[in-house]
């Protein structure tokens, strides 16, 4: 048996999505910028996808720009807000994804960066954010909707209200919540969000930026006039059509998937506690926690370590943190930000609609073989 529990890193592409994409490799291969029939068919599919995606998020189609994913979108928003919207200070947190943290830090000569305080579960302290916002800088707040390593969810409606009160721009990295939670961009005061298809059973290398109509940016990539001059380069049409299908599918079956996946997470945690009573949960345990992510601290024993490596050998793909830091021996910057000590080894298990109870049982059995009393 081979079990995949690394769905926060990437998800398997849904068969329905592969099917929807296929004609865009074989038949509708025109360039959406061409004016002949092939090009017009491609353009129609591109604009249909934009309309569908905007509709699912309660945004206007003109506010959706296709990109290569979450990383490019974060770079676009942060760089261009600083260079063209006069932002001189960023408020963020130490647990943001590196695509936000490293982008902000690369602008250190032009910017002041303030980090909002977090509690030990990764919840932002709203009073700390409010205090920081009182400072009179032109500010961009970059706070993720949900953390990809520990699953902690931030109340972006509350952050948005604080930003509104203090005249700050707000970018939320919603890569882990788009197509997993309803997002109503009419109800939340947020100027920018990001999405990435491979986190919700779509293809890799395609995503989008939502840019609110009153906060338009200038392009980061220069060249052709694609994406209404916001993002040059021939659009990845099969990918965009795949993202549209994956997102429609996910929102159509949201409650069903949520019930199934949160059931698995609860079951798995109960079994873990039964067999390993001295584990701890990193992040929030139930409330304000992604139903797709469970980060467990296993007490380090003298001969332990390399749990993720051992799980892999035993047929289970899990992760030590974000996919970008696995493979390097740098520990998790998120767990470090929460003050998690070396006495615990963090393993992130992340689930999808395709996981089963049998896979949970199998993983528990393998953990019992690996971690002997
Ligand atoms: N933001 C978060 C929270 C993520 O989990 C990821 C993916 O690891 C990204 C951004 C980057 O997205 P992409 O892989 O599409 O560049």
Residue closest to 264 by CA, chosen among 292, 295, 296, 298? 292
CB 279 within 8 A of CB 296: yes
Q: Is the pLDDT of residue 327 over 50?
A: no
Rg for the chain, CA atoms, rounded: 21
Q: What confidence score (pLDDT) does residue 286 get?
A: 86
Determine if ligand 1 sits within 6 Å of the CB of residue 195: no
Q: What confidence score (pLDDT) does residue 305 get?
A: 62
Residue closest to 266 by CA, chosen among 176, 338, 349? 349
> Which of helix, strand or coil describes residue 91?
strand
DSSP-derived secondary structure letter, 236? -
52 backbone φψ class: left, alpha, beta (φ>0; ψ -120 to 50): alpha
The closest-lying atom of ligand 1 relative to the alpha carbon of residue 71 is: 16
Q: What confidence score (pLDDT) does residue 55 get?
A: 98
Look up residue 101 and give its two tokens: 């943290």
Q: How far is the C-alpha of 152 from the C-alpha of 137, rounded, in Å?
A: 28
CB 128 within 8 A of CB 94: no
Q: How far is the C-alpha of 19 from the C-alpha of 200, rounded, in Å?
A: 16
Cβ within 8 Å of residue 12, ≥6 positions away: 4, 201, 352, 354
Ligand 1 pocket: which of 171, 196, 348 to mutate (most atoms <8 Å of CB)? 196
Determine if ligand 1 sits within 6 Å of the CB of residue 71: yes
Q: How far is the C-alpha of 50 from the C-alpha of 210, rounded, in Å?
A: 11
Ligand 1 pocket: which of 70, 148, 333 to mutate (most atoms <8 Å of CB)? 70
* Residue ID of nearest Cα to ligand 1 atom 5: 148
Q: How far is the C-alpha of 72 from the C-alpha of 239, rounded, in Å?
A: 15
Q: What confidence score (pLDDT) does residue 51 get?
A: 98
Q: How far is the C-alpha of 312 from the C-alpha of 314, rounded, in Å?
A: 5
Ligand 1 pocket: which of 69, 99, 200 to mutate (most atoms <8 Å of CB)? 99
* Residue 324 annotated among the catalytic residues of the structure: yes
The closest-lying atom of ligand 1 relative to the alpha carbon of residue 73 is: 16
* Residue ID of nearest Cα to ligand 1 atom 10: 70
Residue closest to 54 by CA, chosen among 295, 240, 266, 238? 240
pLDDT band of residue 136 (cuts 50, 70, 90) is confident
Determine if ligand 1 sits within 6 Å of the CB of residue 80: no
List pLDDT tens digits, range 273-299: 999 999 999 999 989 999 999 999 999
Q: How far is the C-alpha of 107 from the C-alpha of 9, rounded, in Å?
A: 27
When pLDDT is averaged across residues 71-89 and rounded to a whole number, the result is 96
Ligand 1 center from residue 70 Cα (angstroms): 5
CB 180 within 8 A of CB 153: no
Query: Which segments within 36-175 are labelled E, that is strand?
Result: 64-67, 89-92, 112-115, 139-142, 169-173
pLDDT band of residue 322 (cuts 50, 70, 90) is low
Ligand 1 pocket: which of 93, 100, 148 to mutate (most atoms <8 Å of CB)? 148
Query: In the chain, what are the helix, strand and coil shares in percent, each to the nearest 5?
Result: 40, 15, 45
Q: What confidence score (pLDDT) does residue 349 get?
A: 98
- From the list 99, 142, 163, 324, the catalytic residue is 324
Q: How far is the C-alpha of 60 from the C-alpha of 185, rounded, in Å?
A: 9
* Residue ID of nearest Cα to ligand 1 atom 8: 9
Query: What's phi and psi for 293, nearest 5 deg?
Result: -125, 135
Q: How far is the C-alpha of 102 from the C-alpha of 105, rounded, in Å?
A: 5
Ligand 1 center from residue 243 Cα (angstroms): 15
List pLDDT tens digits, range 186-231: 999 999 999 999 999 999 999 999 999 999 999 999 999 999 999 9
- pTM to 2 decimal places: 0.96
Determine if ligand 1 sits within 6 Å of the CB of residue 196: yes
Q: Report the residue count for the chain.
A: 373
Ligand 1 center from residue 372 Cα (angstroms): 35
The closest-lying atom of ligand 1 relative to the alpha carbon of residue 96 is: 3
Query: What's phi and psi for 225, nearest 5 deg?
Result: -95, 20
Q: How far is the C-alpha of 112 from the C-alpha of 126, rounded, in Å?
A: 20
Determine if ligand 1 sits within 6 Å of the CB of residue 70: yes
When pLDDT is averaged across residues 323-338 and rounded to a whole number, the result is 70
Q: How far is the C-alpha of 59 from the C-alpha of 52, rounded, in Å?
A: 10
Q: How far is CA 338 from CA 117, 122, 196, 335, in A?
A: 10, 6, 26, 5
Q: What confidence score (pLDDT) does residue 326 get?
A: 46
Determine if ligand 1 sits within 6 Å of the CB of residue 69: yes
Look up residue 46 and give its two tokens: 């591109």
* Residue ID of nearest Cα to ligand 1 atom 12: 70
Look up residue 14 and give its two tokens: 């849904």
The closest-lying atom of ligand 1 relative to the alpha carbon of residue 99 is: 10
Q: How far is the C-alpha of 364 from the C-alpha of 275, rounded, in Å?
A: 8
């Amino acid at each position: 048996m081979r079990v995949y529990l690394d769905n926060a890193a990437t998800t398997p592409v849904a068969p329905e999505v592969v099917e929807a994409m296929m004609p865009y490799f074989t038949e509708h291969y025109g360039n959406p910028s061409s004016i002949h029939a092939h090009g017009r068919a491609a353009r129609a599919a591109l604009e249909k996808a934009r309309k569908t995606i905007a509709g699912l998020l309660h945004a206007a189609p003109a506010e959706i720009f296709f990109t290569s994913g979450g990383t490019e979108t974060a770079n676009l928003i942060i760089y261009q807000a600083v260079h063209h919207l006069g932002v001189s200070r960023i408020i963020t947190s130490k647990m943001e994804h590196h695509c936000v943290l490293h982008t902000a830090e690369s602008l250190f000569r032009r910017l002041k960066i303030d980090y909002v305080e977090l509690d030990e579960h990764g919840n932002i302290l709203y009073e700390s954010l409010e205090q920081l916002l009182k400072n009179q800088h032109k500010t961009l707040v970059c706070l993720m909707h949900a953390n990809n390593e520990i699953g902690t969810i931030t109340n972006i409606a509350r952050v948005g209200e604080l930003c509104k009160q203090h005249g700050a721009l707000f970018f939320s990295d919603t890569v882990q919540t788009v197509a997993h939670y309803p997002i109503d961009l009419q109800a939340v005061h947020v100027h920018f969000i990001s999405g990435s298809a491979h986190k919700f059973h779509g293809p890799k290398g395609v995503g989008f930026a939502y840019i609110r109509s009153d906060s338009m940016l200038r392009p980061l990539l220069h060249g052709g006039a694609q994406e209404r001059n916001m993002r040059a380069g021939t659009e990845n049409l099969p990918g965009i059509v795949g993202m549209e299908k994956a997102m429609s599918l996910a929102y159509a079956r949201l409650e069903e998937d949520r019930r199934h996946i949160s059931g698995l997470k609860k079951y798995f945690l109960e079994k873990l506690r039964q067999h390993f009573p001295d584990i701890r949960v990193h992040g929030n345990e139930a409330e304000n926690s992604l139903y797709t992510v469970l980060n467990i601290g296993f007490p380090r024993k003298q001969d332990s370590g390399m749990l993720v490596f051992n799980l892999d050998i035993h047929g289970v793909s899990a992760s030590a943190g974000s996919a970008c830091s696995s493979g390097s021996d740098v520990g998790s910057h998120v767990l470090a930000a929460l003050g998690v000590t070396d006495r615990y080894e963090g393993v992130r298990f992340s689930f999808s609609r395709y996981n089963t109870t049998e896979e949970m049982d199998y993983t528990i059995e393998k953990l019992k073989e690996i971690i002997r009393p």
